Chains A and B, each alone.
Chain A
Amino acid sequence: MISLESLNRALQHWLQSTLGDPWAYLVMCVLVGLAAITLFAVLGLALVYMERKVAALMQIRMGPNRVGPKGIFQTSADTLKLVMKEGLTPDGADKFLFNFAPFLVMIAAMLVLAPIAFARNFQIWDLNIGVLYVAAVSSIAVIGILMAGWSSNNKYSLLGAMRSAAQIVSYELSAGLAILSIVVLAGSLRISDIIASQADGWWIIKGHVPALIAFVIFLIAVTAETNRAPFDLAEAESELTAGFHTEYSGMKFALFFLAEYINIFIGCAIGATLFFGGWMPFHIGHWEAFNRVMDYIPSSLWFLGKTLFLIFLIMWFRWTFPRLRVDQLLNLEWKYLLPISMINLLFITLMAILGWHL
């Protein structure tokens, strides 16, 4: 049966036998890089299209339906438009920081891709501190946003960037604690270990209510960290016109836009890995026959399905809720989410020590 894993093996084998060790490794690196960039482009197009269709579904309208069948080429056309547009740099802006910021945001998003497991044994880099790496690198993005806001020399941008910084720094805590609770249960920071620990059931089921609480907190935190409504205060288009990217146009704006969707994808992929077993099919304890049937569905589909489901949830939030106010946003984190997730972590630790989980 053809799977991503076997394809990967075959390719690696062929390269090694024809090129020898160091060259094969180098070519592999280049291929991985190309694959990552392609994935980004496809993800950007697909997720923007999905967002627009989901929004249309929520808003009793059709969504894009002119370019291509069901409008699937609409996002490609939009991207083409953005590429053709002039990327203006305002006179008063700090030129270097202004032009560098979108790339920094994009690079941060790209880096986080490394430890994500897309399918069984299909991972760029299975490092032993995978989850920690994700938490650490994803917070680099805030520097890019701050840079963009500060260097634009625009008050709307500055306000947006400040809001974004306060928000991301705060919500990082809850996200970290929610991730930690699964690490406690799984007993490892390595992504492949965490997935392997869910072979007899996903943590959201095995972990009882505390895992569910951790999942909800994680989802809220991811929404906040990606600056999505109802936490889109950094952009807050009705207050700050466009927040930190007010002055950006053309491809530089597109990079911010793309990074947002990549960040959503990564956040949801991590969520799917931690709570829904990543590529792990739906298994129930020792029901061997049932588990076998589930294994027939390719692991990459499991991963993609779970991730897209979480992305759909986040899109659902966006098209349903009004935006929070800045003080309410911080209250929610510091007064509610943080204490809850701390207590929740205690429960989970207790559960892990006493072996109460399934």
Chain B
Amino acid sequence: MLEEIGTNDQGDMIINIGPQHPSTHGVLHLVITLNGETVKKVEPHLGYIHRSIEKMCESLNYRQFIYVTSRMDYLSSHINNHACALCVEQGLQLEIPSRAQVIRVLLDELTRIASHQLWWGALAMDLGAFTPFFYAFREREMINEIMEETCGARLTMNYIVPGGLMMDVHPDFQRKVKAFLVQFRSKIHEYDELVTGNVIFQSRTKGVGILSKEDAISYGCTGPTGRGSGVSCDIRKLYPYEIYQQLQFDEVLEQGGDSFARYKVRIGEMIQSMNIIEQLIDNIPEGDFQAKTKAVLKLPKGDFYSRVETARGELGVYIISEGGTTPYRIKFRSPGFSNLSALDHMSRGGKIGDLMATMGTLDLVIPDIDR
């Protein structure tokens, strides 16, 4: 690829953004073609953190492979585990105790809030404002502490196992979650005051990185990226899993399709996630946290596909089983991968600053893309 770097025959400048760059949030490598400050083409080069998780999973059994998936989208590792567990349970046709279901959903939503908080801080940083990052981390730290107590880890939870949970929640769980809700509800107005209402922020994001509804569907954009373009794609609503059917929450939809719309969707989602947690936190049923399973899990021959809504969009886990203890082939349909494919389309014709705003609101997590 070296010969691409320099200037092309139209006199456009070709710049490498990444693999080490402050706003690619990881080892993403973009080769962008610039005419002055205007972006003409964005070409992602991937693979810097590709570990071939799909290949690794082929030699791991159905209990082991879940731990590897925490390392895909590390900001919603809990939800990744959840998706894998759901797929295995679907194959085994297991009934999950309701206590485990409720706790899974609670932790999913906490993970979603934590992920969106990190995104919020990082987006502001991409746009040149450092301060919001610290405000986001103030509340995120509380979630991390809850996770640490309950799961024993702050980032890669590995708490969900096929059949339920690895262990019961910490006795302090309910109290701490409630404390977090009180704190976050009282502080979320600061998020709006600091960033949302800011004139510069709005002018940086409104009308920037526009993705139409048709394109969003065609590019397979899901999650807040798709919903910012008006595509109803919340798996929790469309194909409810666990207990989402019984919960009262709204799918946040914006019609703008620009970076600001995606921003508003994520802010709205944090509030919806809080609503979900509030409905559940006092109603955790008593009972087992794990269904009875065999020591060695064997999936019947066939295809199994599970879909969940991570913080970034639709995560699909596709297991092809030959009846053994390990999957014959496993495929993770990661949301970031599809969302990234739309980046070129969205950022053409904008300025370099717009590219950063677009990339920031796509909320890319590189290990999720590279897997």
Contacts and interface: CB of A to CB of B under 8 A. Distances in A.
Q: Touching in the complex, A and B, CB below 8 A?
A: yes
Please report whether the interface of chain B is mostly helix, strand, loop or mixed according to DSSP. Answer: helix
Contacts of A328: 200, 203-204
Interface of B: 13, 15, 21-23, 37, 124-131, 133-135, 138, 194-195, 198, 200-201, 203-204, 351-354, 356
A103 interface: no
Contacts of B352: 159, 239-240, 326
Q: Which of A238, A241, A320 has the most CB of B within 10 A?
A: A238
A322 B194 CA distance: 10
Interface in A279-335: 319-328
Contacts of B15: 155-156
Given A238-B356, A321-B200, A323-B128, 16 more contacts: A60-B135, A155-B13, A156-B15, A238-B126, A238-B128, A319-B130, A321-B128, A322-B124, A322-B129, A323-B353, A324-B203, A325-B203, A325-B354, A326-B352, A328-B200, A328-B203
A65 B195 CA distance: 29
Contacts of A321: 128-129, 198, 200
A229 interface: yes
Contacts of A155: 13, 15
Contacts of B129: 229, 320-323
Contacts of A240: 352
A113 interface: no
Q: Which of B15, B201, B353 has the most CB of A within 10 A?
A: B353
A189 B56 CA distance: 75
B134 A322 contact: no
B131 A325 contact: no
B22 A322 contact: no
B131 A58 contact: yes
A239 B134 contact: no
A236 B135 contact: no
Nearest to B353: A325
Contacts of B134: 59-61
A60 B138 contact: yes
Interface string A175-188: 00000000000000
Contacts of B138: 60
B131 A326 contact: no
B213 to A, nearest CB: 26
A322 B204 contact: yes
Interface in A202-234: 229-230, 232
A323 B23 contact: no
Interface string A151-177: 000011001000100000000000000
29 contacts: A55-B130, A55-B131, A60-B135, A60-B138, A155-B15, A159-B37, A159-B352, A163-B37, A230-B128, A230-B200, A236-B128, A236-B353, A238-B127, A238-B128, A239-B23, A239-B353, A321-B129, A321-B198, A322-B127, A322-B128, A322-B201, A323-B204, A323-B353, A325-B204, A325-B354, A326-B351, A327-B37, A327-B351, A328-B204
A78 interface: no
Contacts of A322: 124, 127-129, 195, 198, 200-201, 204
Given A60-B138, A320-B131, A325 B351 contact: yes
Contacts of B353: 236, 239, 323, 325-326
